[in-house]
Amino acid sequence: MFNCPIMQKALLYKIIALWSSFILLHTEVVFAEDFALTLPSDLRQKIVSHEGFYITDQETVGIKDNTYHAMGGVGKLLLTLVTLRLAGDGILTLDEAVAKTPNTLLDDQPFKVAITPRHLLTETAGFAVPPVIYSAANLKSYASEVRSAGKMAHHDPVGWAILIRLLEQKTGKPILKIIDDTLLLPLGLPITSLKVIDAKNPLLFLRGLKGTEQLLASLTRIIATNRSPYNTAPFLDSTLYQQLTGTLSWRMHPMGPSRTLGLGLHTTSHQHWFELFRTPYGNTSIMVFPAENIGFAYFGTDPEGFRADVIQFANSKLAPNPTSEASDTNALTSKTRINGLYTITEAPAEWLQTRLHQIRYGTIRLADSKDGTTLIVSKENTEEVPAPRVFRKVAPLYYVDAKGNTISFSPYKQGGYMMLDDHLYRFVGLIGDKRLVLDLVVPFFLLLLSSGIYIFRKRHTAWRRMGLTGLLGTLLITFGVAAEYYLWPKVVFLWDMPALVTLWRILLNAGIALTLSLPLFTLSFARKQKMPTGPFSILLVPLHLCLVSVAALGLFIILVAWGVAGNF
């Protein structure tokens, strides 16, 4: 009955899972008084007060029995380990084109950078972050690429959903069965270690993921030691573990944010470690120092304080573990001055409303000194103007302030992207200036609408034609912009009617073409000397036509900056 090797292996995993669960449920884990590394009292208190735990090479300290926590970003680690295990079994490779696997919802386009599992695991596939996720929506509607794969990293729920679809297509199993067979059973954990709200919708999978502290401790231990709690054999083979914890798959700057597969790498002058921090849908924070085989987890209400405590502990108690960023940084050169406006872009958006919100509330201005040694950062577009922050240059494209906060710029486009306070910004220049691309919109629309007054000049056909053209064009633009601003998510994601979006964009661009004819009407009237000659009209009408012409050209430039002009 059990002659099949696969069945024997599955039975062995089941036995290990049942035995491990029994041991964990009947064993009280206590704080180790003789642990060689003495934790600071405040950090120790957080662990003792049931807000977290830590693991070492030999033990787990502070874990509770069957307490569940929303996993948040730790769910990404879970999917990463599943993917690496499948790669180790030869079911997939990390650098294969995802689009070549049927039913992964991506089109195989030979003239674009192919998205690979490596891009999905490092969140560099370039998908737009959806403003809202509807449970009944089609996943393909969300697979919109706004950046080339491999350029910049950002929180990418669509990329993880595509990865889940890829794993299901590769194995022919639902994702929960894959996790159970590939991860939980080898770790000796039952399927009840994981709770999922919606396993059928890949976009909502991570949002509803909860895990026991036993599971979270096992995942933390894999990062720190590459072993499960009850098995001395490596969980991943050495090559895959190196890619998980040692090989950088993406970095923006040698001293700035970097990523391995599924993990964010952080550095100081003394240490480097991995973080999986809480998200809006998860309260779990994990910090791991693989060089010392130690990891921390926290579920309390002060994650930033916890992070500061752990970093202080690591710098004072752990052996220095510097990296090679210094030599890599010295090879960089900065040929341009860092000046201008930067807008937050950690969630690249396809929806007009989100992009305008980023300009209004997420724009900062940078100004460097003439010698390039000082950088002044000031907040734009806010009612309360905070004091500017001053940063000193310590390396090419890398600055530090008096509190130790850093700014790192991408060598790509010589500072085209910037990381400040763990937020990603991109250079936008004048198109990020609220006074130009937001404040002038309403006056321009009112001026263009006022061109309709010339419809009532009954004796002058050309003037009536201009008034009708201006009024119709303005109404079409208003309708198109309003549809983009208010209706786009429902039409694209919920109704799945992209043809309707194309229709209103055609009307919007037709309206732009009509309003751009207004300056031509003005030039024609001036050249043919058809301006009115009344005592008031001779002064007011030419002025009005000039303002209308400026409004037509200005609104066109604004709509280009918004990304709607010429977009179908």
Task: Flag the least confident range among 109-118, 232-241, 273-282, 354-363.
Answer: 273-282
State how far the alpha carbon of 195 is from the alpha carbons of 78, 184, 241, 277, 326, in Å: 13, 13, 26, 20, 44
Rank 144-158, 276-290, 335-349, 533-547 by mean pLDDT and report only the highest. Answer: 144-158
Which two three-digit tokens encode residue 57? 């090479």
Strand order in the sheet with 294-298: 60-61, 52-55, 294-298, 285-289, 272-276, 264-267, 258-259, 250-251
- Indicate the average pLDDT of the chain: 84
- Rounded to two decimals, the pTM is 0.86
Contact 18, 191 (CB under 8 A): no
Percent of the chain with pLDDT over 90: 39
pLDDT at 311: 83
CB count in 10 Å sphere of residue 304? 9
pLDDT in tens, 490-521: 999 989 899 999 999 999 999 999 999 999 99
Which is it for strands 68-70 and 209-212: parallel, antiparallel or unpaired?
A: antiparallel
Closest alpha carbon to 280 in 343, 347, 229:
347
Which two three-digit tokens encode residue 7? 């069945």
Indicate if the alpha-carbon torsion angle 215, 201, 277, 298 is positive or negative: negative
